[in-house]
Amino acid sequence: MSSKRIALITGANKGIGFAIARQLGERGHAVILGCRDADRGESAAGILRAAGIEARALVLDVTVGDAVEEAERSIERDEGRLDVLVNNAGIHFGPPPPAAEESIEDIRRIFETNVFGALRVTQAFLPLLRKSDAGRIVMVSSGLGSIGETLDMRSENWGVGFAGYCASKAALNMLVVKLAKELDPHGIKVNAADPGLTSTDLTGNGPGHAPDIGARSAVALAMIGPFGQTAAFQACTPAGELVGHAW
């Protein structure tokens, strides 16, 4: 059992998830990289260990109930608790056609990872988070899930398609609020982090800032203090300042 605060990050072998794991490790956490592929997860964990970070990989497919339960049993057996859960795993298929033509099957698969997967993992690990003296849950969401900004003609959201992906993040945001209200009496804070437009495999490695910048909002919320917010939807500027989003 580690004497450090223990953080589990899903989808952590690359991109924003890996950057979150590294930054939390650099700040004194023991990090567990939840990954679908064991070899890729171990390779990523090895990079962190070489940098002096306490890290290990854990096979975790957020869409498979048995895999999630097995991962929870592994952490319970080895650590006995969990202090931080970052639900980072997410997918989309794009660029998709207009919403009127977008594949229902593709949208269903997006929701299975982005919404149901995040809730499945959260529900499974709540008993271990309740054993922490300061449990923190961070959902990696997106400003594209903001209904208010999507309706604002001045917002960059106005001209964005990706209806299924955006709807999944809007649904995830509602889960953040519901969980935050429910878990607040237990001292567990639940927040949503918006990494902003980040250049990763998910975005085709196109325009956007580096994953190190995209990870900052999630890291800040994972480390938020006892008087910090819950049910917040926040992004992080390149300077490291947390800024609020409209739900």
Tell which CATH classification among 1.10.287.3510, 3.40.50.10070, 3.40.1160.10, 3.40.50.720 matches the domain 6-244.
Answer: 3.40.50.720
Q: Which residues pair with 33 in a beta bridge?
A: 9, 57
Q: Which residues pair with 32 in a beta bridge?
A: 8, 56
pLDDT digits over 96-130, tens only? 899 999 999 999 999 999 999 999 999 999 999 99
The domain locations on the chain are 6-244
Given 165, 178, 181, 189, the catalytic residue = 165
Q: Which two tokens stand for residue 41?
A: 């997860």
Q: Tell me if residue 178 is catalytic.
A: no
List of residues 6+ apart from 184 with CB closer than 8 A: 230
Q: Tell me if residue 4 is catalytic.
A: no
pTM over 0.85: yes
* In contact, 4 and 54? CB cutoff 8 Å: yes
Given 14, 131, 169, 178, the catalytic residue = 169
Residues lower than pLDDT 70 in the chain: 199-201, 203-206, 238-240
The dihedral through the CA atoms of 88, 219, 202, 245 has a sign that is positive
